């Protein structure tokens, strides 16, 4: 099968032929139809510190995908050949405290597809059955491949009660835009999106965000003050993983508001806790991944309601062999979601 692998500790990737993988007794073999590029894949492509400290080579990378089951392992009873599935990328151990108390998504010994084990930038992929989501027939493989990041947006907003609230989301990459769409769908008074890329700002606007601020062009604090008439925001969602942005984001929050942290910071962060959290009695939530399977039900239900259409958030499609172009576009942080059709 054709596959995109990482086999050298250098920038780049290798498009190559691999044998179709053998399906383990608890796994599914999936014919991949669509696979989306995630920030993690960019790290792997660049071979930065994040990637080199975690990954053993060679690795078949890529983890956000959807496809059709072509074979099932001998212990698998809940899936059959022909099922359409999307992948939950966090593989839980099944035994730890979290796994046995409904918190598999923060499993103590979690492994991640396409990071700790082979992924899905390939014609076929092995998916542990425990991580397979049966995709509703009304959802295409392309959109199915983006349910995983869409789920992060859904999970982030589920920590709060956005109805009637002033919501601000820092970051207009795909997850940021998903979060903005979910906030708006949930009845927010208005939603503000912030980014530094004019393409991403334009996409947020196109997807219905009420106020889009390009932080390169305007003073975000001044604009938030203007838009909220000095009230501040009720809910902040932080997706950039940039500590300056975190401090600025916190300043927009009203006293007693909610701040949801999703973006990953590199290293420890200096944060003015006294003024931004303690004196404000701010509620701070950390969010990672998606609750299995609560978030998936919500995410799919939102799409099936027909009230929002996330298809336009996918701005580019590529063939796997054009991976250099696709990953370079992804790292430019100017596009929406980028999907390989396989």
Classified as helix, coil or strand, 224 is helix
Q: Which is nearer to Zn ion, 93 or 185 (CB)?
A: 93
Question: Footprint of Zn ion on residues 64-93 (CB under 5 A)?
Answer: 92-93
Q: How far is the CB of 274 from Zn ion (least distance, A)?
A: 34
Dihedral sign for Cα atoms in the order 327, 329, 332, 334: negative
Classified as helix, coil or strand, 246 is helix
Q: Which is nearer to Zn ion, 62 or 162 (CB)?
A: 62
Q: How far is the CB of 149 from Zn ion (least distance, A)?
A: 6
- Whole-number Å distance between alpha carbons of 213 and 199: 12
Q: Is 95 a catalytic residue?
A: no
Q: Is 40 a catalytic residue?
A: yes
Sequence-separated (6 or more) residues with CB below 8 Å from residue 301: none
- Residue 66 CB coordination number (10 Å): 28
Are residues 309 and 282 in contact, defined by beta-carbon separation less than 8 angstroms? Answer: no
Q: How far is the CB of 223 from Zn ion (least distance, A)?
A: 31
| Element containing residue 42 per DSSP (H, E) | helix 39-46
Q: Which is nearer to Zn ion, 25 or 109 (CB)?
A: 109
Q: How far is the CB of 265 from Zn ion (least distance, A)?
A: 17
Q: Exactly one of 16, 33, 40, 95 is catalytic; name it.
A: 40
Q: Exactly one of 14, 33, 43, 146 is catalytic; name it.
A: 43
Sequence-separated (6 or more) residues with CB below 8 Å from residue 262: 152, 156, 175, 179, 237, 238, 239, 287, 288
Q: For residues 73-89, b (16+ Cβ closer than 10 Å) or e, as one string?
A: beebeebeeebbbbbbb
Q: Which is nearer to Zn ion, 107 or 211 (CB)?
A: 107
Contacts within 8 Å (CB) and 24+ apart, 301-309: 302/154, 302/182, 302/185, 303/136, 303/138, 303/139, 303/143, 303/147, 303/150, 304/136, 304/138, 304/139, 307/185, 308/181, 308/182, 308/185
Question: Footprint of Zn ion on residues 190-209 (CB under 5 A)?
Answer: none
Q: Which is nearer to Zn ion, 107 or 188 (CB)?
A: 107
Q: How far is the CB of 80 from Zn ion (least distance, A)?
A: 27
Contact code string over 317-336 relative to Zn ion, x by CB under 5 A: --------------------
Q: Which is nearer to Zn ion, 99 or 177 (CB)?
A: 99
How many residues contact Zn ion, by CB under 5 A? 6
Contact code string over 89-128 relative to Zn ion, x by CB under 5 A: ---xx--x--x-------x---------------------
- Residue 108 CB coordination number (10 Å): 12
Considering only CA atoms, which of 236, 222, 265 is closest in space to residue 167?
A: 236
Q: Which is nearer to Zn ion, 173 or 257 (CB)?
A: 173
Q: How far is the CB of 176 from Zn ion (least distance, A)?
A: 14
| 217 phi, psi to nearest 5 deg | -110, -25
Tokens found for residue 58:
């060679």
Whose tokens are 């239900």? That residue is 301
Whose tokens are 């992924």? That residue is 119
Among 38, 183, 194, 261, binds Zn ion (CB under 5 A): 38
Q: How far is the CB of 150 from Zn ion (least distance, A)?
A: 11
Catalytic site positions:
40, 43
**Residues near Zn ion (CB under 5 A):** 38, 92-93, 96, 99, 107
């Amino acid at each position: 099968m054709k596959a995109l692998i990482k086999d050298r500790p250098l920038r780049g990737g290798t498009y190559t032929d691999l044998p179709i993988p053998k399906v383990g007794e608890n796994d599914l073999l999936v014919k991949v139809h669509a696979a989306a590029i995630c920030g993690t894949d960019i790290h792997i492509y660049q071979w930065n510190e994040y990637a080199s400290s975690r990954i053993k080579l060679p690795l078949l990378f890529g983890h956000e995908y959807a496809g059709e089951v072509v074979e099932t392992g001998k212990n698998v009873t809940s899936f059959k050949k022909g099922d359409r599935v999307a992948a939950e990328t966090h593989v839980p151990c099944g035994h730890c405290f979290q796994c046995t108390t409904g918190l598999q998504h923060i499993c103590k010994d979690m492994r991640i597809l396409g990071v700790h084990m082979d992924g899905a930038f390939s014609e076929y992929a092995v998916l542990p059955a425990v991580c397979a989501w049966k995709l509703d027939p009304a959802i295409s493989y392309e959109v199915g491949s983006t349910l995983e990041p869409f789920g992060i947006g859904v999970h982030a907003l589920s920590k709060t009660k956005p109805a009637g609230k002033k919501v601000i989301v820092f970051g207009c990459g795909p997850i940021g835009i998903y979060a903005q769409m979910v906030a708006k769908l949930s009845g927010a008074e208005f939603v503000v999106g912030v980014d530094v890329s004019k393409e991403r700002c334009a996409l947020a606007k196109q997807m219905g965000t009420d106020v889009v601020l390009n932080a390169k062009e305007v003073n975000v604090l001044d604009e938030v003050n203007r838009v909220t008439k000095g009230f501040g925001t009720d809910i902040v969602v932080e997706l950039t993983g940039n500590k300056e942005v975190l401090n600025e984001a916190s300043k927009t929050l009203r006293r007693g508001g909610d701040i949801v942290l999703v973006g990953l910071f590199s290293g420890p962060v200096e944060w003015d806790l006294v003024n931004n959290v303690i004196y404000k009695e701010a509620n701070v939530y950390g969010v990672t991944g998606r609750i299995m399977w609560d978030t998936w039900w919500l995410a799919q239900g939102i799409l099936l309601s027909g009230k929002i259409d996330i298809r336009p958030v996918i701005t580019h499609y590529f063939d796997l062999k054009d991976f250099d172009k696709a990953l370079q576009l992804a790292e430019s942080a100017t596009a929406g979601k980028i999907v390989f059709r396989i």
